[in-house]
Amino acid sequence: MPIEQQPRHLTATDLAERWQVPARTLGQWRYEGRGPAYVKIGGAVRYRLTDVEAYENEHMVGVR
């Protein structure tokens, strides 16, 4: 997908699909204070794509 068409925010379902984990895992991580930063507005949870990518980079294994 071209950069200008990429979403700036992901839903928990979007992120779960991206990482191939159950959406419930992301909910548990939020409860425990783990995982990437997120925004909660009116009960809706959204992850900024920049925060997701930063989290992925912070957890890179074996690459320097």
Determine the 3-state secondary structure of 54 from DSSP.
Answer: helix
Domains of the chain: 3-58 (1.10.10)
Task: Give CA–CA dist 7/19, Å, rounded.
Answer: 16
Mean pLDDT, consecutive 10-residue stretches, the chain (64 aa), reads 72 97 96 96 95 95 76
Say if residues 18 and 36 touch (Cβ distance below 8 Å). Answer: no
Task: Give CA–CA dist 20/44, Å, rounded.
Answer: 21
DSSP codes, 17-50: HHHTS-HHHHHHHHHHT-SS--EEETTEEEEEHH
pTM (whole model) above 0.75:
yes
